[in-house]
Every structure is written in structure tokens, then in C-alpha cells.
């Protein structure tokens, strides 16, 4: 599935800061719930609000954070703005974490 060439781990590892930033966006229960809620479809803000019992302004803020992290795509439609998961970006984060784990465990088997 991962279309990354194993020869250039740089594109996976990225800078620690880069990965850290995206993980920071994921490191809040509400935002994880939002992602689950978004699922594959696109939702408007209100829909998420109804699901979360947080103030609308708070949810909007969380959505903004996810958008700024590049994990969610945002289309400011008229009244009902559309929020939609950026699956590729999310998959990239997952890959980064996997890469991290592997790089940490690699020594054991002397994989290099």
C-alpha cells in the first residue's frame, strides 16, 4: 500500500518537528473523536458538534487545528462548511509512526 521507496527514508522520517507537529494534532481525545466521526464522508461543523458535547466554538477550533496540521481538508462552503479527512496525510502519519517503531526496534535484529 505504501508507495514510499524504502531507499529514501527521509521522506518518511521527515523532520522530527514535522512528525511531532502532526502527532500533536492527534494528541487530543476530542480531535480523535472528530476524526472517527468524519470517517470517510465529509461533515459540517454542526454535525460534529452534536456528536461531541463541546461548545461550537471549541469544536471549530479543534477542526482548525486538524486542518492546519494538514490532516483534514476544508471547503468553506456557503453555510455548511465541509470537513473531510485527508486520507493520504493520515496514512503518511501512520507510516511515520511505523517507521519510528521499526527504527527503534531494528537494532535488535541488526537490520541495517
User: Across-strand partners of 82?
Assistant: 75
Does 14 contact DNA by CB under 7 A? no
| Nearest-angstrom CA–CA distance, 40 and 86 | 9
Please say whether the beta carbons of 71 and 86 come within 8 A. Answer: yes
Residue 11 contact among a copy of itself, DNA, none, beta carbon within 5 to 8 Å by kind: none
Binding site partner of 106, from a copy of itself, DNA, none, Cβ cut-off 5-8 A by kind: a copy of itself
Report what 79 binds from a copy of itself, DNA, none; CB cut-off 5-8 Å by kind: DNA
Comparing CA positions, the residue from 3, 72, 70 lying closest to residue 36 is: 72
Q: What is the closest distance, in whole angstroms, from the C-beta atom of residue 35 to a copy of itself in the complex? A: 6
Handedness of CA 18, 16, 61, 35 (dihedral sign): positive
Asked if residue 64 binds DNA (CB under 7 A), the reply is yes
**Interface with DNA (CB under 7 A):** 24, 27-28, 30, 44-47, 49, 54-58, 60-65, 74, 76, 78-81
Amino acid at each position: 500500500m505504501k508507495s514510499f521507496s524504502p531507499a529514501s527514508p527521509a521522506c518518511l522520517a521527515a523532520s522530527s518537528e514535522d512528525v511531532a507537529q502532526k502527532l500533536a494534532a492527534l494528541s487530543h481525545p476530542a480531535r480523535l473523536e472528530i476524526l472517527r466521526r468524519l470517517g470517510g464522508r465529509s461533515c459540517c461543523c454542526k454535525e460534529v458538534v452534536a456528536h461531541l458535547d463541546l461548545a461550537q466554538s471549541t469544536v471549530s477550533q479543534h477542526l482548525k487545528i486538524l486542518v492546519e496540521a494538514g490532516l483534514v481538508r476544508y471547503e468553506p462552503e456557503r453555510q455548511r462548511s465541509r470537513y473531510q479527512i485527508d486520507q493520504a496525510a493520515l496514512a503518511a502519519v501512520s507510516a511515520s509512526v511505523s517507521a519510528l517503531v521499526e527504527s527503534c526496534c531494528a537494532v535488535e535484529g541488526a537490520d541495517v
